[in-house]
Amino acid sequence: MSLSFSSSSWISLICSLVVYQLRSAHYVRDFMVFLETIDVQSLSGITPQTVTEYYRYLGLRVNKTRDGGLSGNYIASNIQALRRFTRYLQQSGRHW
């Protein structure tokens, strides 16, 4: 059994993956900025309470493109990006 994709399907898939990675990087950058505002200087300074505070912050943050706050999906995507970043750091042995 073989998979056949048209070149437009491959291009679409690759573009989707690139956008996904860029969004994830954006979410992680936002978290780093948040850490700076609460004076956390290293990954070892992140506690469960830090993540809870960030989650609370996202729930209260004003949406920059529409009226109101951030959507539940946006917040969930943010948290998922942080989980992926954490997993990457653990698997790669990298430290901040």
Separation of alpha carbons 44 and 16, rounded Å: 33
- With contact defined as beta carbons under 8 Å apart, do 23 and 81 qualify? yes
pLDDT tens digits along 9-31: 656 655 555 555 767 888 989 99
The predicted pLDDT at position 64 comes to 87
Half-sphere exposure of 90 (CA within 13 A, CB side): 6
Look up the pTM and report it: 0.73
> What digits encode the pLDDT tens for the residues 35-74?
999 999 888 888 999 999 999 999 999 998 889 999 999 9
Q: Which amino acid is at 84?
A: R
| Token pair for 43 | 């990954």
Amino acid identity at 69: G
Q: How far apart are CA 17 and CA 1, in angstroms?
A: 25
DSSP 3-state of 82: helix
Q: How far is it between the farthest Cα atoms of the chain?
A: 55
CA distance 40 to 21: 25
